[in-house]
Amino acid sequence: MIDDFAENGLLAQAIDGFVAREPQRNMASKVSESIKKQRSLVVEAGTGTGKTFAYLVPALRSDKKVILSTGSKNLQEQLFSKDLPIIKKALNYTGKIALLKGRANYLCLERLYHQYAAAGDLDKDLRVDLVRVKNWSIKTKDGDISKCTTVTEENLIWPILTSTNDNCLGSDCEHYSDCYVIKARKRALNADVVVVNHHLFLADVVVKDTGFGELIPKADVMIFDEAHQLPDLACHYFGEQLTSRQLFDLAKEINLVYRTEVKDMSQLQQCADKLQKCTQDLRIAINQQPPKGNLRFLFNQEAVKKEISYLVDALDFCHEVLLLTVGRSTTLDNCFERINQYNTLLKRFQETNVTGFSYWYESSHNYFVFALTPLSVADKFTELLTQRKGSWIFTSATLSVDNQLDYFTKRLGLTNADSLILESPFDYINQTILCVPRYIPSPNEQGNAEKLANILLPVIEANNGRCFFLCTSYAMMNALAKQFRELTKLPVLVQGETSKVKLLEQFIHTGNALLIATSSFWEGIDVRGDTLSCVIIDKLPFTSPDDPLIKARMEDCQMQGGDAFNDVQLPEAVITLKQGVGRLIRHHNDRGAIIICDNRLVMRPYGATFINSLPPSPRTRDINKVINFLITKS
């Protein structure tokens, strides 16, 4: 193992510019030991440690079945297409490697043929896209929709032509032997290393719990990169949700079968239309309420209560009609099961007095979500680790709070796991400067976007753009964008005005842009070199105490005698801030400034927890010192 990472080791021989790093070697050694001893391991590996290679090498060396799970599809693709081929070549690894995505990433042939038979139901643009997908379906080998060059991944045709756990017919489907999801699963079963993502992994665990067939095969080694995302994701997946989309899809499906298979039963169209109308009316009623909040509150509103009773009636009507069709269509049989499931869920959501859960809803002008989320998944996760023997490894650059891993390990019940914190090898003392500017407005002060823009403009212009301004809300992002577009001739790019990928391409291509963004740019973005040399954060990223899940976790914490602020809100904010700050230095040649526009960092006692959790940058309150640092070449 040590030889692989040495200055003249196998990696150095196979990779141009490979630099031997002690933290990387330490991590690889610890991962190797955990795999041999079948132990759980939690590793925080600071940016620049080279954690990906540090877990890939021992994983491939182990000759065991390995599942690699990443935080996003982008990282999944990078691991499969870029990192694994490098290590495979360096180690002369001969095992099979497979990529497995969630079912929404694969074309569903059953839904394609159904839609083709009733294409008249689609609008003109979607009919054109349907034909393009049909032509592509003749050529594709794996049905992966990201490889369809004629129809973009964001296209509205895909949700219609891909399956969900709800509507998949499984082995009853007449296209089962050609199913792309099943083929992908077979490749995964035969592979030695399978690359998945956290969403798919957790969805799979939940599906197995309900007794359905699994997608992800059993393995001896489970490795989670970007593991800081797991606790929140696990809470959502171990909970239950009912969405307007599920109800609309059910209505469309019943209608589609009436038009294509069971044409002699006009009641099918009647019950589908009633379900669609009641869902729509409920959505309108919910839109009169705050966009998110507690289900207890929502279900006590007279208008909402009335519409829910109508929705229950619509589901009962669908149940009666579909009872007459049992055995005539596999799709209708599936719809019948879903009606019962949704009815049970609606009843469950109305029993809001059961403790240990957060009951919440979220809505916009075109959708709503009802959700029941457990406040802790520690027991579930401990059970999972006990059931599936082997080595479980969790790693990320942001797991610790104040140099302790307890917050992460307690949330997942990893109390017996080995742990390791590896500092970043970057020279933050010489490469960076951290500033909390003087005279900044307090976070919620009126007109603070205008004041911040005026204070920070000299820094942004002195740096010739090349700056991320990360915001904690859309309102702040939009207000700042308006101000900066009036104040500067530099290109100002704003999240949401085009896709994330295009926005990043524009930022890198222009070379002097200010990019203003919210949550999706706080992590998983890697811009190296001079293109990005200043990261500004509008305020400490505390989640709003009105957020239903955070609120429920805080109430639960207080009931157990804990301190809701220190035990829930503070650690969450520290980890988010570490992610945002981590966008700046991505390479040992990078250099730049971090500006955090929040006096609480220096005025409040808890500010020390944030400072102790961040890299050791020299600190100042003087904007001019930041400007001098940025214009002085090292």
Domains of the chain plus CATH, in order, are 2-95+192-237+377-422 (3.40.50.300), 103-182 (no CATH), 240-373 (1.10.275), 428-631 (3.40.50.300)
Tokens 């009931």, residue located: 559
Q: Say how far apart CA 596 and CA 434 lie, in whole Å.
A: 8
Neighbours of 566 (CB within 10 A): 13
DSSP state of 81: I
The dihedral built from the CA positions of residue 67, 104, 271 and 263, taken in this order, carries a sign that is negative
Q: Is 346 helix (H, G, I), strand (E, B) or coil?
A: helix
pLDDT band at 633 (very low <50, low <70, confident <90, very high): low
Mean pLDDT of 255-280: 93
| φ/ψ of residue 192, rounded to 5 | -90, -30
Tokens for 267, please give them.
């009641």
| 143 and 175 Cβ atoms separated by less than 8 Å | no
Predicted pLDDT at 307: 95
486-506 core/surface letters (b: 16 or more CB in 10 A; e: else): ebeebbbbbbeeeeeeebbee
Paired sense of beta strands 432-435 and 619-620, if any: parallel
CB count within 10 Å of CB 227 equals 24
Q: Residue length, the chain?
A: 634
Q: How far, in Å, CA of 371 to CA of 377, rounded?
A: 16
CA-based nearest residue to 108, from 391, 413, 334, 349 = 334
Give the mean pLDDT of 209-224: 75
Band (547; pLDDT cuts 50, 70, 90): confident
Confidence band, pLDDT 50/70/90 cuts, at residue 603: very high
514 phi-psi bin (left φ>0, alpha ψ -120 to 50, beta other):
beta
Q: What is the pLDDT of residues 354-408, one digit of tens each?
A: 778 888 999 988 899 999 999 889 999 999 898 888 999 999 999 999 999 999 9
| pLDDT one-digit tens code per residue, 55-84 | 999 999 999 999 999 998 888 999 999 999
Report pLDDT digits (tens) over 176-185: 999 999 999 8
Exposure string for 286-313, b = 16+ CB within 10 A, e = fewer: beebeebbbbebbbeeeebeebbebbbe
The CA-based angle 283-289-295, given to 5 degrees, is 80
Rounded distance between C-alpha atoms, residue 512 and residue 219, angstroms: 47
> CA–CA separation, 203 vs 193, rounded Å?
19
Share of the chain above pLDDT 90, in %: 66
Alpha carbon distances (Å) from 621 to 220, 257, 595, 598: 51, 67, 9, 11
- Confidence at 281, pLDDT banded by 50, 70, 90: very high
Cβ atoms 592, 534 nearer than 8 A: yes
On average, the pLDDT of the chain sits at: 91
Alpha-carbon gap, residue 633 to 191, rounded angstroms: 50
Alpha carbon of 64 to those of 67, 157, 191, 335: distances in Å?
A: 10, 40, 11, 41
Q: Is 567 exposed, middle or buried (0-12, 13-18, 19+ CB in 10 A)?
A: middle
What pLDDT score was predicted for residue 21?
Answer: 87
Q: What is the pLDDT of residue 211?
A: 43
Query: Which of helix, strand or coil describes residue 63?
Result: coil
* b/e map 389-401, b = 16+ CB within 10 Å: ebbbbbbbbbbbb
- Would strands 467-470 and 534-537 be described as parallel, antiparallel, or unpaired? parallel
How far is it, in rounded angstroms, from Cα 115 to Cα 12? 53
Give the tokens for residue 413: 């019940």
> For strand 367-374 and strand 240-243, is the pairing parallel, antiparallel, or unpaired?
antiparallel
The gap from C-alpha 488 to its chain's centroid, in whole angstroms, comes to 34
Beta strand 221-224 pairing with 66-70: parallel
Question: Mind listing the pLDDT tens digit for each residue in 608-630?
Answer: 999 999 999 999 999 999 999 99
Question: Higher pLDDT residue, 501 or 30?
Answer: 30
DSSP label at residue 168: -
Highest mean pLDDT, choosing among 200-209, 240-249, 356-365: 240-249
Strands 391-396 and 418-422: unpaired
Hey, what are 450's tokens?
């205008």
- Count other C-beta atoms under 10 Å from residue 511's C-beta: 13
Q: Comparing C-alpha atoms, which of 119, 118, 117, 145 is closest to residue 133? A: 145
Asked if residue 12 lies in contact with residue 6, where contact means CB atoms within 8 angstroms, the answer is: yes
Nearest to 260, CA basis, from 162, 119, 158, 159: 119
Confidence grade of residue 212 (pLDDT, cut at 50, 70, 90): very low
Q: Is the pLDDT of residue 191 over 70?
A: yes
For residues 320 and 235, what is the distance between their CA atoms, to the nearest angstrom? 35
DSSP 451: H
Cα–Cα dist 239/256, whole Å: 30
Residue 499: pLDDT band (50, 70, 90) is confident
Q: pLDDT digits over 118-150, tens only?
A: 766 778 888 899 999 999 999 999 999 989 989
Longest pairwise C-alpha distance within the chain: 79
Neighbouring C-alpha atoms within 13 Å toward the C-beta of 365? 0
Q: How confident is the model at residue 525 (pLDDT cuts 50, 70, 90)?
A: confident
